[in-house]
């Protein structure tokens, strides 16, 4: 009997999710022995035409990490969707946009300006910018189109399962592979993590949620036994799905929200903002003004991993006058 | 004992005495000293005995016009009495502060005269019978005298006292601020010794008790506007400018003057001005009308007329006489000759020893000046000074003037916004006696009805926490103004809403970062659907 | 910006003060623009920042949140929570390119019908000046 086919792909990604798969160590060999990996750019030398040649719907499982921000990534996402029975949005970027989605605070023009023209280490006197189509003597060269807005995977194609995390922890990866191997898959649309937030998992002592001052993580050395939020450090744990093993908390660092919003929360940033401001002690105008100065970058802090999936998705584009560049 | 004597001596010096004669240790031995400075008094010595009578006579002869105090023991007083008989000593030039000798001193002196110490006195009163000079009286043996609050400071009371003649219960109570024993100045047993019922406790400490109740009725009453806040009336600067409550005590038979209405120097006034709306209907003080002052000002005018026949002017803004018989009383008072002038009293000044009230007479359309003997300021009703603390303790909202806020001004004037907490009387708004009785009675009836029902109906707009979602982050717990959320520690550690306490404000729902709390009938889904509805038509 | 554009403003009004105040504006026959669509909540503290974002996502040009004056909240302190949430939300929204004037937090008591009408008037004109929230398909991939 032919071995089931698996594919892995990285879109707008740092590579960390692939490293996480490699972190399964010798279990990877077990996976390789029970399944056929037909596509995995970081590790195997398959080309796109190999993927196109695979029959539709014949790939049993596709682990897709990274956000979608170029036409190439969109194309491969759609291709993989056609070829796969089950698509898994693997990692925070594929699930909600991740760090790449912070680019939604800007746009292509500003990014190109900075990367290709402004950056001090550039040597680009002619001001060359990437073009989607360039004619050279030998013919035409194509580059993928760079989108203004970063999307997460299920904004482009249908997705069966979500594995959040930056990257997903090894034990969750093995859980998925196991479920697959034994055929005991959760219902479609599930998020492979805890149904509660990180607070449920966190074993620090919680006494009273009353914050009088917000500290940035470098400003104080937090008590490793007490809830970080109660010490004034912004921990997104209350608004973040659990299941990560409280890795950051154990390292005495606050949660940054990489497991995304829990079930039933449609905008992680809004909820974290609501929770934090509700518990901050301030009634007078000066106290509220102080809160505003202490919280330096609310959008970046609360939407660090979930900008693409938030309600507004991106910064409002600036109106362009007709006739301008 | 020493501190007490020093305090009394300081008081004498403050009151204008030129000096207090006492004993002071100087150059190795104790001798007489004229204390002229309060700072020196810390060196006051009481023993050993030094006879002071001769010293006092010499000082009196040298400075006959000076007012002096003296710390005297019994033998000094007896000596001075003998000297007075011989004409060498004048009693009225000296204010004595009596001291009692210790047992050791009495034994050393072989003092054969009885020593009266309040500490050990058993109150048998045999000494009263024996004393031929009748120098001992069976008085309320409390040595402390302070101004009487009920008499608005115009009269005096002891540190053990009945607050006022109609107090319920009609029992004496000790003043913890001034009683020598309660303030731990002295083991004074004055009242303890004379009490026949033996009901004065030796050890008296506050006990805290927790009582579970089903309803609370707040009837903490009101205060009056503090007249010095309006400096144009010069209250406290010139004599014979009094607040309406002071007038009440002056003309009360149980008050400090026994009901005689007189000026500060004892003369009977011939003209009195009553200024309405002091601190009320005033953008610089309180904007509301205090409701009761027009009527009590008229009553006071009537009493002044009755007691003294003086000319009474009432300077009013509007006459509010809306109760039963009130308008008729207004007419009667006018017939009695009280002059009602429409115009707010603007200023009270002193012109060459004469009090003058300046006002505008809107009827005449010009300013007037009224020279009077006495001015009564009808100060308005205000919330009590401690109402902020009471409001916070019981979670009562206060309106913008500081009175406790009713649930609905028309339909629920004696309910507060918290179920089971009711408001009675002037703590909620200014009102007179019949209205207060009705209001408080209604609140009491509501309490009875609530308790008799045995069941409480609550609004269905409560919040509910899904235990499957709640991660016990504790963010909601402190947000609830009714403390309706707590951790349900039964194994599964999740938060739980007490449906009876929850009022459905939804603050916890909006704050919950897990989305675990639902606001019944105002769910997120319902509101989001409304948003969608209004924007996509 | 175009003067003919009619702003669509979503208003979240608390039941006890602001909603009654708006009611009073109505019964007093005060004239004010129809640009605000009112959604009643029990307390201004119920207003989740998610609602504000949803309103903008669905095309609102502005959001108005009205509650009781500080100290007068029917539930004691709900409006204080709103007083903390909304300013920080506005700061976050400004990072997302949304002008400060598009979200407004006001205190309106049950007796302030005129004040409510004035606020609606002022806000409508302000947003008319600012222009519509989304422009020409902006906000999606482009």
Same domain, B169 and B248: no
Tell me, yes or no, whether A244 lies in a domain.
yes
Residues A216 and A270 in one domain: yes
Contacts of B256 (CB under 8 A, 6+ apart): B148, B151, B154, B155, B156, B249, B250
Q: Quick count: other Cβ atoms within 10 Å of Cβ B113? A: 10
Integer CA distances (angstroms), B263 to B236, B257, B336, B474, in order:
14, 11, 22, 66
B271: tokens are 């003209």
A241 touches C: beta carbon within 8 Å: no
Residue numbers of B between 464 and 523 with CB closer than 8 Å to A: 468-475, 477-479, 507, 510-516
Q: Answer whether residue A323 is part of any domain.
A: no
| Same-domain pairing of B105 and B147 | no
In a domain, A320, yes or no: no
Query: Does residue B214 have a pLDDT over 90?
Result: no
Is A309 a member of any domain? no
Minimum mean pLDDT range among A163-177, B44-58, B237-251, B318-332: B44-58
| Domain housing A71 | 5-100+156-182
The answer on pLDDT for A91 being more than 90 is: yes
| Residue in A274, A278, A316 nearest the CB of C139 | A316
For chain A, list the contacting chains (3+ Cβ pairs, <8 Å): B, C
Measured between CB atoms, which of B397, B417, B535 is closest to C55? B535
Taking each continuous run of H as one helix and of E as one strand, the counts in chain B are 13, 25
Give burial (CB, 10 Å; 0-12/13-18/19+) of C69: middle
Same domain, A126 and A241: no
Is C140 in Cβ contact with A311 (below 8 Å)? no
Whether A143 and A272 map to the same domain: the answer is: no
Same domain (yes/no): B133, B108: no
pLDDT tens-digit readout, A242-262: 999 999 999 999 999 999 999
In-domain check, residue B429: no
Same domain, B31 and B77: yes
pLDDT, average across residues B412-435? 92
Report residue A6: phi and psi, to 5°.
-125, 145
A192-201, B39-48, C129-138: lowest mean pLDDT where? Answer: C129-138
DSSP string for C67-129:
EPPTT--TTSSHHHHHHHHHHHHHHHHHHTT--GGGEEEEE--TT-HHHHHHHHHHHHHHHHH
**Chain C partners within 8 Å of A311 (Cβ):** 50, 53-54, 56-57
Looking at the structure of chain A, the number of domains it has is 3
Whether residue A169 sits in one domain with residue A55: yes
Provide the number of structural domains found in chain B.
4
- Same domain? For B89 and B176 the reply is no
Same domain, A285 and A202: yes
- Neighbouring chains of B at 3+ CB pairs under 8 Å are A, C
Task: Classify residue B400: in a domain, yes or no.
Answer: no
* pLDDT, position A323: 40
- Domain shared by B146 and B289, yes or no: no
Residue C8 has its nearest CB partner, among B482, B503, B535, at B535
Do the domain assignments include residue B422? Answer: no
Q: Which two tokens stand for residue B265?
A: 């120097």
Does an H or E element contain A110, and which? helix A108-112
Q: How confident is the model at residue B405 (pLDDT cuts 50, 70, 90)?
A: confident
Confidence label for B285 from pLDDT (cuts 50, 70 and 90): very high
- Do A134 and A41 belong together in one domain? no
Query: Are residues B326 and B260 located together in one domain of the fold?
Result: yes
Closest residue by Cα to residue A232 from A197, A275, A276: A276
Contact B424/B387 with Cβ under 8 angstroms? no
CB-nearest to B510 from C47, C54, C74 is C47
In terms of domains, do B40 and B68 share one? yes
Is A73 part of any domain?
A: yes
Please report, rounded to a whole number, the percentage of residues in chain B having pLDDT higher than 90: 51
With a threshold of 0.90, does the pTM exceed it?
Answer: no
Q: B353 lies in a domain?
A: yes
Q: What is the pLDDT of residue A92?
A: 96
Using CB atoms, which residue from A278, A300, A316 is nearest to C97?
Answer: A316
- Report the chain B residue with the minimal C-alpha distance to residue C52: B531
Examine residue A167 and say whether the peptide bond preceding it is cis (omega within 30 degrees of 0): yes
Show residues of chain C in contact with A276, CB under 8 Å.
88
Asked if the Cβ–Cβ distance from B468 to A238 is below 8 Å, we say no
Asked if B251 contacts B259 with a C-beta cutoff of 8 angstroms, the reply is yes
Average pLDDT score over chain B: 88
Q: A138 and A118 share a domain?
A: yes
Q: Does any CB of chain B come closer than 8 Å to the CB of residue C51?
A: yes
Q: Are B95 and B69 in contact (CB under 8 A)?
A: yes
Q: Is residue B430 in some structural domain?
A: no
User: Could you say which of 1.10.287, 3.40.50, 3.30.200, 1.10.10 is the CATH number of the domain covering C9-130?
Assistant: 3.40.50
Q: What is the CATH number of the domain that holds B271?
A: 3.50.50.60
A302 touches chain C (CB under 8 A): yes
Q: Do A71 and A128 fall within a single domain? A: no
One domain for residues A161 and A57? yes
Residues of A in contact with C138 (CB under 8 A): 316-317, 319
B408 in a structural domain: no
Q: What residues in C contact B395, CB-CB < 8 Å?
A: 76
Q: Bridge partners of B466?
A: none
Tell me which residues of chain C, numbers 91 to 120, contact chain A at a CB-CB cutoff of 8 Å.
Answer: 91-92, 95-98
Q: Tell me the shortest Cα–Cα distance from A267 to chain C, in angstroms.
A: 7
Residues sharing a CB contact under 8 Å with residue B79, sequence separation 6 or more, in sequence order? B51, B53
Whether A321 is covered by a domain: the verdict is: no
**In a shared domain, residues B316 and B256:** yes
Query: What integer pLDDT is reported at residue B117 of this predicted model?
Result: 52
Residue A300 with chain C: CB contacts under 8 Å: 95
Considering only the beta carbons, identify the residue of A200, A209, A264 that sits closest to B515: A264
CB contact under 8 A, C81 and B511: yes
Which of chain A's residues have a Cβ under 8 Å away from the Cβ of B468?
A: 195-196
Domain boundary at B204, B238, B261, which? B204
pLDDT at B196: 76
Among A34-43, B391-400, C36-45, the minimum mean pLDDT is found in B391-400
Residue B270 and residue B347 in one domain: yes
Among B256-265, B365-374, B486-495, the range with the most confident prediction by mean pLDDT is: B365-374
Instruction: Read off the CATH number of the domain in which B478 is found.
Output: 3.30.70.20
Decide if A283 and C97 are in contact by the 8 Å CB cutoff. no
Domain that holds residue B288: 222-382
Residue A67: name the closest of A107, A100, A40, A41 by CA: A100
Q: Compute, in degrees rounded to 10, the torsion defined by CA atoms B535, B537, C1, C4.
A: -140
Instruction: Decide the pairing of beta strands A146-151 and B354-361.
Output: unpaired
Residues 6+ apart with CB under 8 A from B507: A278, B479, B480, B481, C43, C45, C46, C75, C77, C78, C81
Is the CB of C54 inside 8 Å of chain A's CB atoms? Answer: yes
Beta bridge partners of B20: B35, B69
Contact status of C127 with chain B (Cβ, < 8 Å): no
The candidate with the shortest Cα–Cα distance to B478, out of A206, A236, A240, A290, is A206
Nearest-Cα residue of chain C relative to residue B511? C48
Are the beta carbons of B475 and A275 closer than 8 angstroms? yes
Average pLDDT over residues A138-155: 95
The ipTM estimated for the assembled molecules is 0.93
CB contact under 8 A, C10 and B461: no
Residues of B in Cβ contact (< 8 Å) with A278 = 475, 479, 507, 510-511
A157 pLDDT tier (thresholds 50, 70, 90) = very high
Reply yes or no on whether the pLDDT at A202 is more than 90.
yes
Selected residue with higher pLDDT from B401 and B518: B518
pLDDT tens by residue, A31-72: 888 889 999 999 999 999 999 999 999 999 999 999 999 999
Asked whether residue B226 falls in the same domain as residue B372, the answer is yes
Is B137 inside any structural domain? yes
Q: Is the pLDDT of residue B501 over 70?
A: yes
Residues B169 and B21 in one domain: no
């Amino acid at each position: 009997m032919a071995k089931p086919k698996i594919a892995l792909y990285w879109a707008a990604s740092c590579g960390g999710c692939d490293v996480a798969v490699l972190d399964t160590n010798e279990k990877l060999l077990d996976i390789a022995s029970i399944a056929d990996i037909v596509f995995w750019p970081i590790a195997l030398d398959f080309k796109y035409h190999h993927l196109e040649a695979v029959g539709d719907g014949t790939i049993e499982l596709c682990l897709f990490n990274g956000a979608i921000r170029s036409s190439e990534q969109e194309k491969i996402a759609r291709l993989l969707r056609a070829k796969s029975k089950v698509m898994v949005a693997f990692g925070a970027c594929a699930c909600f946009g991740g760090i790449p989605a912070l680019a939604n605070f800007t746009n292509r023009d500003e990014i190109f300006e900075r990367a290709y023209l402004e950056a001090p280490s550039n040597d680009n006197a002619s001001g060359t910018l990437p073009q989607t189509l360039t004619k050279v003597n030998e013919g035409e060269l194509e580059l993928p189109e760079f989108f203004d807005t970063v999307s997460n995977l299920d904004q482009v194609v249908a997705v069966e399962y979500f594995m959040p995390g930056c990257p997903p922890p090894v034990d969750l990866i093995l859980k998925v592979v196991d479920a697959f191997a034994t055929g005991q898959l959760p219902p479609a649309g599930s998020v492979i993590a805890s149904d509660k937030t990180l607070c449920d998992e966190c074993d620090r002592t919680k006494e009273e949620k009353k914050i009088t001052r917000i500290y940035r993580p470098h400003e104080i050395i937090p008590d490793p036994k007490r809830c970080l939020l109660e010490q004034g450090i912004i921990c997104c744990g209350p608004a973040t799905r659990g299941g990560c093993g409280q890795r950051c908390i154990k390292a005495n660092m606050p949660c940054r929200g990489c497991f995304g919003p829990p079930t039933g929360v449609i905008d992680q940033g809004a909820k974290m903002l609501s929770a934090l401001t509700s518990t901050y002690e301030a009634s007078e105008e000066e106290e509220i003004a102080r809160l505003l100065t202490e919280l330096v970058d609310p959008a970046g802090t609360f939407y660090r991993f979930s900008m693409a999936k938030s309600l507004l998705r991106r910064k409002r584009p600036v109106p362009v006058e007709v006739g301008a560049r | 004992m020493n501190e007490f004597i020093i305090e009394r001596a300081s008081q004498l010096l403050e009151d204008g005495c030129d000096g207090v004669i006492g004993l002071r240790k100087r150059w190795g031995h104790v001798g007489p000293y004229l204390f002229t400075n309060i700072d020196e008094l810390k060196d006051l010595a009481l023993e050993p005995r030094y006879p002071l009578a001769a010293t006092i006579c010499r000082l009196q002869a040298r400075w006959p016009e000076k007012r002096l105090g003296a710390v005297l023991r019994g033998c000094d007083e007896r000596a001075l009495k003998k000297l007075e008989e011989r004409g060498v000593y004048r009693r009225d030039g000296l204010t004595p502060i009596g001291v009692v000798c210790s047992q050791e001193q009495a034994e050393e002196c072989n003092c054969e005269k009885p020593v009266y110490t309040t500490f050990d006195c058993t109150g048998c009163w045999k000494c009263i019978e024996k004393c031929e000079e009748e120098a001992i009286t069976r008085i309320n043996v409390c040595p402390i005298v302070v101004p009487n609050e009920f008499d608005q400071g115009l009269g005096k009371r002891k540190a053990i006292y009945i607050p006022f003649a109609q107090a319920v219960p009609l029992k004496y109570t000790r003043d913890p601020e001034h009683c020598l024993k309660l303030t731990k100045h002295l083991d004074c047993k004055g009242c303890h010794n004379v009490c026949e019922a033996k009901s004065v406790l030796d050890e008296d400490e506050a006990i805290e008790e927790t009582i579970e109740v089903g309803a609370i009725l707040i009837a903490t009453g009101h205060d009056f506007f503090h007249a010095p806040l309006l400096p144009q009336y010069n209250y406290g600067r010139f004599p014979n400018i009094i607040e309406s409550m002071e007038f009440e005590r002056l003309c009360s038979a149980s008050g400090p003057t026994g009901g005689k209405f007189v000026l500060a120097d004892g003369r009977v006034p011939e003209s009195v001005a009553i200024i309405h709306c002091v601190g009320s209907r005033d953008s610089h003080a309180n904007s509301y009308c205090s409701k009761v002052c027009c009527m009590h000002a008229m009553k006071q005018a009537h009493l002044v007329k009755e007691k003294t026949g003086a000319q009474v002017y009432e300077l009013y803004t509007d006459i509010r006489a809306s109760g039963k018989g009130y308008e008729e009383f207004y007419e009667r008072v006018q017939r009695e000759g009280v002059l009602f002038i429409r115009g707010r009293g603007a200023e009270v000044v002193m012109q060459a020893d004469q009090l003058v009230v300046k006002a505008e007479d809107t009827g005449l359309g010009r300013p007037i000046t009224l020279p009077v003997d006495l001015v009564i300021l009808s100060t308005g009703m205000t919330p009590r000074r401690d109402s902020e603390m009471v409001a916070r303790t019981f979670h009562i909202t206060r309106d913008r003037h500081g009175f406790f806020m009713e649930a609905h001004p028309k339909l629920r004037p004696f309910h507060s916004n918290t179920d089971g907490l009711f408001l009675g009387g002037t703590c909620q708004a200014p009102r007179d006696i019949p209205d207060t009785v009705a209001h408080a009675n209604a609140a009491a009836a509501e309490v009875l009805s609530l308790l008799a029902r045995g069941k409480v109906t609550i609004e269905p707009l409560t919040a509910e926490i899904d235990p499957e979602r709640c991660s016990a982050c504790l963010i909601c717990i402190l947000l609830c103004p009714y403390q309706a959320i707590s951790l349900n520690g039964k194994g599964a550690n999740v938060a739980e809403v007490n449906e009876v306490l929850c009022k459905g404000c939804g603050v916890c729902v909006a704050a919950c970062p897990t989305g675990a709390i639902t606001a019944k009938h105002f769910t997120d889904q319902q509101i989001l659907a409304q948003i969608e509805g209004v924007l996509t038509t | 910006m175009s003067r003919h554009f009619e702003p669509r403003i979503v208003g979240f009004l608390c039941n006890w003060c602001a909603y009654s105040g708006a009611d009073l504006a109505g019964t007093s026959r005060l004239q004010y623009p129809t640009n605000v669509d009112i959604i009643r909540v029990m307390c201004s503290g119920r207003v989740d920042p998610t609602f504000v974002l949803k309103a903008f996502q669905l095309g609102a040009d502005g959001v108005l949140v009205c509650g009781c004056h500080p100290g007068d909240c029917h539930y004691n302190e709900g409006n204080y929570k709103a007083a903390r949430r909304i300013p920080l939300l506005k700061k976050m929204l400004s990072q997302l390119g949304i002008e400060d004037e598009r979200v407004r937090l006001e205190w309106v008591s049950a007796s302030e019908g005129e004040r409510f009408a004035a606020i609606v008037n002022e806000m409508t004109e302000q947003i008319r000046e600012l222009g519509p929230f989304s422009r020409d398909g902006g906000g999606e991939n482009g």
